[in-house]
Chain A
Amino acid sequence: MDLEIEWGSLVLVLGVAFITTVAVVVLYSVGLRLLSLGDPQSGTARPVAASVAAWTLIGICGAVVLYGVYLVIPQFH
């Protein structure tokens, strides 16, 4: 019985999964934080730059999800 644990690919999986997840969660969270700027009660509007940045970050997360769908569906590759 030859047991070959592929430690290399295991570490690779951990590394890539970690980086992907942290990147998506950080980008999305920063996006949400930017969207929360401004205060409707005191009438201060959210800066345009914040809105643009927020939706750009959330858009990047969306692109990562689409790449995930691409990976799941074998017909695409």
Chain B
Amino acid sequence: MEIFIPVLLVVITAVIFDFTNGFHDTANAMATSVATGALKPRVAVLISATLNLVGAFLSTAVAKTVSDGILTENDAGLPSVTPIMIFGGLVGSVLWNLATWWRGLPSSSTHALFGGLIGAAIIGVGFDAVNWAGVVSKIILPALISPFIAGFVALTATYLAYRITSMAKARGADSGFRHGQTVSASLVSLAHGTNDAQKTMGIITLTLIVAGYQTAGTAPQFWVILISGLAIGAGTYAGGWRIMRTVGKRITDVQAPQGFAAETSSASTILVSSTLGFPLSTTQVTSGAVVGAGLGRRLAGVHWGVVGRIAIAWIITLPAAALVGALAALLATAGPIGLALVVVLALVAGLGFVALSRRNPVTRSNVNDEEPPQADRTTDAAQPAGKA
């Protein structure tokens, strides 16, 4: 009974995190499709939600490697964290995801998740509980490298797409690119589903094993797979319109050939990297591809102010989630009253972000609103159009 309540809290918080993961990352696959009009907003989130749900059932390989080499493991192959610490970490992850969603920033849910866990593990166990080499090689380096690889690929692809179709003036080119974009965006959604829902399954399974409800080394239980898949699907369908507007309209106003080039770059970069065993970060890949697509079209303006804010959010996601996770874990491990306090404070903070976002709601009806935030520099739009 002692352990049951913390485990239950972890399951509930993990499912909430999974939901925020869904609506945070809808933008990865679908922002450019919504921006170019290739898909109606509601259709886009429905396709993405379905593929995320399907993806969750396709593979549980990642979920088995519970902490993914981020936390050090003891002889039994388990990290030395308790369910209460995991709960504290998840609180940090959820709150950071909500904060960045409120600001419309496409930060990485994976970073938020691991940031929260790292913070909680440091507080609960110590610096030794974290496998720092794993953090650098599996989180920090991929995050630094991903946007540049995807950006470079998308820049070249966009330039060629415009060049070959005479700046997309060839008859039928525009709608052709939109069809192509729908296909590559769907592939990104499916790849996302096979990866991200598994992280929630992994956390819940880890907790069940640590609490002694499940044997170490066994696969996630069916109900865990089911609720993880449903939560990420529901979150995706709810649609992170705030983040979608940033990625699809505010970084640069994405046109059909750019959307096609960006999504194709994202899909191939993600698939190639995971196949060749050098996993890159989905959020960073897709955002980098959008910037590259913006640069690849002559005359296109990239709002560097927006890009800068996204970059800052990327850098502080891990430490910020770690800080909140650490504080939550510190309070939660202090005793039953501390644990109750964390639950209450987390609810207040979470609902607070929802309330703040209500003040300027972004819905599927104004997701394509172009008005850029004030005081953004753009690339020199007055450059001569050139020969392209």
Contact A30 B271 (CB under 8 A): no
User: In the complex, A25 Cα to B266 Cα: how many Å?
Assistant: 12
Q: Given A25-B157, A25-B260: A33 and B149 within 8 A (CB)?
A: no
The answer to whether A50 has its CB under 8 Å from any CB of chain B is no
Q: A61-B180, A75-B58 are known contacts. Are A9 and B264 too (CB-CB below 8 A)?
A: no
Bound complex: CA of A28 vs CA of B106, how far in Å? 29
Contacts of A63 in B (CB 8 A): none
> Are A33 and B165 in contact, CB atoms less than 8 angstroms apart?
yes
Decide if B280 touches A13 in the complex (CB within 8 Å). Answer: yes
Contact of A25 among B137, B264, B276 (CB under 8 A): B264
Select which of A16, A26, A73 is within 8 A of B276 by beta carbon.
Answer: A16
The verdict on B386 contacting chain A, using a C-beta distance below 8 Å, is no
Closest chain B CB from A38 CB (angstroms): 9
Interface size on A, residues (CB 8 A): 37
B153, A18: Cβ atoms closer than 8 Å? yes
The DSSP consensus for interface residues of chain A is helix
Chain A residues within 8 Å of B274, by CB: 71
**Does A52 belong to the interface (CB within 8 Å)?**
no
Q: Which of A44-77 contact B (CB under 8 A)?
A: 61, 65, 68-69, 71-75
A5-46: CB near B (< 8 Å → 1, else 0) gives 110011011101110111011101111110110000000000
B172 near A35 with CB under 8 A, answer yes
Stretch at the interface among B183-191, B201-209, B242-250, B308-316: B183-191
Given contacts A5-B137, A20-B268, A21-B269, contact A28 B276 (CB under 8 A): no
Q: Which residue of A lies closest to B184 (CB)?
A: A65
Least CB distance from A7 to B in Å reads 10
Instruction: Say yes or no: A13 contacts B278, CB within 8 Å.
Output: yes
Contact of A4 with B137 in the complex, beta carbons under 8 Å: yes
List, in ascending order, chain B residues with CB within 8 A of A28's CB.
Answer: 161, 176, 180, 260
